[in-house]
Structure 1
Amino acid sequence: MLLAPCIEWQFTEHANLADRVRAAAAAGYRAAEFHLWRDKDLPGITAALAETGLGLTGVCVDPRRSIVDPAERAELVAAVRETIAATAPLGKPPLIVASGFKVDGMSEADHFANAVAALKEAAALAEAAGVTLLLEPLNTRLFAAMYLVSTRLGLDLVEAVGSPNLRLLYDVWHSACMGEDMAEVLAGRIHLVAHVQVADMDDRHEPGTGTLDWGRIMQTLTDLGYTGGIGLEYFPTLPMDQSLQLTRATLAV
């Protein structure tokens, strides 16, 4: 499986992301990912990607806006449109969308309907541009009022929108924080998952430093038929060469 370090949190001995792209490539990786883009040197990153041949497995839609609050829908759609345009020179990477927070007094049915309506508008832009949107469930440990904190609900939304350009980002750490059984929540719907991110419990460090059974996790992905990339979205506790060596050994990839 293609491994992609999160250069937002890794290779931080380098001050800027362009140099982190180069460092990831020098470490033998063929892909990387980062979070928001508006505060980044996109021309510099573009040049580093061209220089190294590195690809990107994810960039966040920026600014983050709610998919469930109708008052923010126009801003969400604008953010998707602007992110598509801004990241096109980076190779049209997948674009990550979070849900935003629950709206006080709104029913679950209305939350779902609003999310589907907003994601359909966003997905139409993605289809026209040839870009994939990745809907990411988070967790209540970090965000108590976040709407989308369930893998099943995320998959339900992807199915309801029905666009080939909207898929789920399954984050092992977020899912574990919510007490989900990975095999159960992904059973029969792995085709709707386009990217997986990993970090160990409890503190979101590199695989091999915590309590998760990575042999089972990786075997489950294989058994389900997942063939996409693995984003290494964790805070390293070791120098990057040692951290990535431990991660590779733990994931057995």
Structure 2
Amino acid sequence: MKLGFLTACLPESDLTDIARWAANQGYEALEVAGWPAPDDRNHIKVDCFDEAENARVRRIFTETGLTLSSIAYYENNLHPEQGPQVNAHVMRCVDAAAALGCPTVGTFIGRDPGLPVRDNLKRAEDVFGPLVEYATARGVELVIENCVMKSWHPDGYPGNLAYSPELWEWMFTLGLKLNYDPSHLVALGIDPVAALRPYISNVAHVQAKDTQILPGAIDRHGFYGPISGEKGWYRFRVPGLGQVDWTRVIDTLYEGGYDGVVSVEHEDPVWSGSTERVRTGLGIAYRTLRHLVQG
């Protein structure tokens, strides 16, 4: 395995600077943000990917010796209005990944909040069938993060229909793979290791994020969280500052034969607010995981 991180946490930084810093810190891989402009999470310019951009990105990874593990574009592929534009950009990400020799593109299933789950699953089959076919023809796998995305639903229900093992089994039948993130399972009351063990052969990428349970908060809001603007009963942290047992998670991945990248996804509100604070958070994550993730 190799240890990396998702570049979306450093939107103000150039990919060259991110890669050099990552390599100097001992990181071995990057999961690179590929959102379309004007979104500043576009460290690979997927929406205007040409020979010059291809050469620029290849040069960065050649000079630093890092691995490009995935192009990241996590948006709602089932959005009732914007879905077709999201689908089209996923295909552009696939084209860029194929040109760069990158094995995966990461995205969400998403959801139309105006439809029940069963209708959404039928829509997803119609949407992702062509997307998987397009990616497979170019030697790229589509990986889906198991994030709940409650903010995509007006009542805070799951907005990304890939949050549980039941739904993983469904999406595997479409040819999709899992970008496994244990932090979201903690927030659903699911044991991350018990959920992972049967599905390791379908894991094509791993994101490392932690979840900190806030004492007493669930007694006020309940499992579904607040209906007001109050904070919920958990928050995401960098690995080592939450409830995830990283020794068990990484050991289970090794035992199951996973040999890909473990990519830190930094969404820690404590270690945010500036480039230096984000880098400090990435340093905490590195020190937590380095002795566990061995090449």
Q: Normalising by structure 2, report the TM-score.
A: 0.71
The DSSP-based 3-state class of the residue aligned with 1:209 is coil
User: Does 2:218 align with 1:215?
Assistant: no
Amino acid of the structure 2 residue aligned with 1:197:
Q
Q: Using a 3 Å threshold, how does the CA distance of structure 1 residues 200 and 249 change in structure 2: closer, same or farther?
A: same
RMSD: 2.9
How many residue pairs align between the two structures?
245
- Tell me which amino acid in the other structure corresponds to 1:16: D
Would you say the 8 A contact 2:33–2:71 is kept in 1?
A: yes
Deviations 1:50-77 (A, max 9, x none): 3223221122237x342375x6554344
Question: Could you tell me how far 1:122 is from its partner in structure 2?
Answer: 0.4
The equivalent of 2:190 in structure 1 is 180
Give the aligned partner of residue 66 of structure 1: 77
Q: Provide the residue aligned with 1:168 in structure 2.
A: 178
> Is 2:282 aligned against 1:247?
no
Q: CA deviation at 1:21?
A: 1.1
Aligned counterpart in structure 1 of residue 102 of structure 2, from 78, 92, 117: 92
Aligned to 1:113: 122
- Contact 2:210 2:239 (C-alpha < 8 Å) held by counterparts: yes
Closer, same or farther: CA 99–175 of 1 in aligned 2, 3 Å: same
Contact 1:25 1:54 in 2 (8 A): yes
Q: Which position in structure 1 is the counterpart of 2:23? A: 25
1:132 has 2:141 as partner: yes
1:197 and 2:207 are equivalent in the alignment:
yes
Q: CA 1:149 to 1:158, structure 2 compared with 1: closer, same or farther past 3 Å?
A: closer
Q: CA deviation at 1:243?
A: 2.1
Q: Which runs of 4+ in 1 moved over 4 A?
A: 140-143
How far has the Cα of 1:131 moved from its partner? 0.8
Asked if 1:6 is matched to 2:6, the reply is yes
**Structure 1 gap segments, 5+ residues each:** none
CA distance in 1, matches of 2:169, 2:126: 13
* Paired AA for residue 220 in structure 1: T
Q: In structure 2, which of residues 59, 65, 84 is the aligned counterpart of residue 47 of structure 1?
A: 59
Counterpart CA distance in 2 for 1:108 and 1:241 is 36
- Give the deviation of 1:149 after TM superposition: 4.8
How much has 1:180 moved relative to structure 2? 1.2
Question: Following TM superposition, by how much is the alpha carbon of 1:28 offset from its aligned partner in structure 2, in angstroms?
Answer: 2.7
Deviation at residue 179 of structure 1 after TM alignment? 1.7
Percent of matched pairs sharing the same residue: 26
Offset at residue 3 of structure 1 (A): 0.8
Deviation (angstroms), 1:123: 0.4
Q: d(CA) in 2 for partners of 1:49 and 1:7?
A: 14
CA contact (8 A) 2:162 2:168 kept: no
CA distance, structure 2, for counterparts of residue 94 and residue 195 of structure 1: 8
Unaligned segments of structure 2, at least 5 residues: 45-52, 213-234, 272-276
- 1:219 and 1:207 map into 2 onto residues whose CA distance is 15
